[in-house]
Amino acid sequence: MSTAKRVAGEAAAELVEDGMRLGLGTGSTVAYFLDALAARGLDVAGVPTSEATATRCRELGIRLLDVATTDALDLAVDGADELDAGLELTKGGGGALLREKVVAALADRFVVIATRDKLVDRLGDTFPVPVEVVPFALGPVGRVLTERGFELTERTDAEGRSYRTDNGNAILDARMPAGIADPAVTDVALALIPGVAAHGLFLDLATEALLGDDEGGLLRR
């Protein structure tokens, strides 16, 4: 039980209004949001960003929308691994980055819920950038990232096997030892590597942040 995550998740649930179409993020902070949302008993529906979130929504009775037939969302709520003062994010610690980015881009309003200690001066300072890679391209993508100065760790599952996302892809966690000097340049450079399906830099997407702390406080950004 995390007070900081609960405070952020509950504050986000208060933003939801009857009839809204939602983007439903992934992770332990979002779990508090989903619980608080279900408790409100509103008539809402949402696009889940992972199979785990879809399963939890079914358990809680939150109606699901098919992204294929959803042209826009009123509000997306999701966690983050890092955020900076300009609300730029690193995401993907839970492996759901590709669907999370698709859903965030569909939303008129994208609220990040996180603990206050995830605020950083510069993206990449505390968390690597997750890079989702089509398995066929793991070798070539790994070589390109290494040549560009990233230190790589291929993500593994609990049994030590190569991790697979809900999309069947692998993840390389890419750390830049000197930090990410220009996230906008890195954003485009990573996206252009053949075989990269998505990466965890989320720029110009978040519209606000709700940051909880362990004393029950909430910082709004």
Should residue 48 be labelled a site residue for ligand 5RP when binding is judged by CB under 6 A?
no
Q: Is 81 in the site for ligand 5RP (CB under 6 A)?
A: yes
Report if residue 124 touches ligand 5RP, rule: CB under 6 A.
no
Query: What is the β-pairing status of strands 129-133 and 196-199?
Result: antiparallel
- For ligand 5RP, which stretch binds (CB under 6 A), given 68-76, 94-102, 155-163, 210-218? 94-102
Count Cβ neighbours within 10 Å for each residue of 120-150 and write b for 16 or more, e otherwise. Answer: beebbeebbbbbbbeeebbeebbebbeeeeb
Other Cβ atoms less than 10 A from the Cβ of 107: the count is 22
- Using CB under 6 A, which of 12, 13, 34, 97 touches ligand 5RP? 97
Asked if residue 77 lies in contact with residue 31, where contact means CB atoms within 8 angstroms, the answer is no
Among all residues, which ones are annotated catalytic?
Answer: 100
Q: Which is nearer to ligand 5RP, 26 or 186 (CB)?
A: 26
Using CB under 6 A, which of the segments 60-68, 79-87, 131-139, 177-185 binds ligand 5RP? Answer: 79-87
Residue 78 interacting with ligand 5RP (CB under 6 A) = yes
Residue 92 engages ligand 5RP in binding (rule: CB under 6 A): yes
Cα–Cα distance between 7 and 16 in angstroms, integer? 15
DSSP H helices, 133-182, are 138-147
The verdict on whether residue 92 carries a ligand-binding annotation is yes
35 annotated as belonging to a binding site for a ligand: no
Does residue 199 touch ligand 5RP according to CB under 6 A?
no
41 is in an annotated binding site: no
Cα 123 to Cα 131: distance, rounded to the nearest angstrom: 15
Q: Is the CB of residue 106 less than 8 Å from the CB of residue 169? A: no
Q: Residue 10, interface with ligand 5RP (CB under 6 A)? A: no
Applying CB under 6 A, the residues found at the interface with ligand 5RP are 25-29, 78-81, 91-97, 100
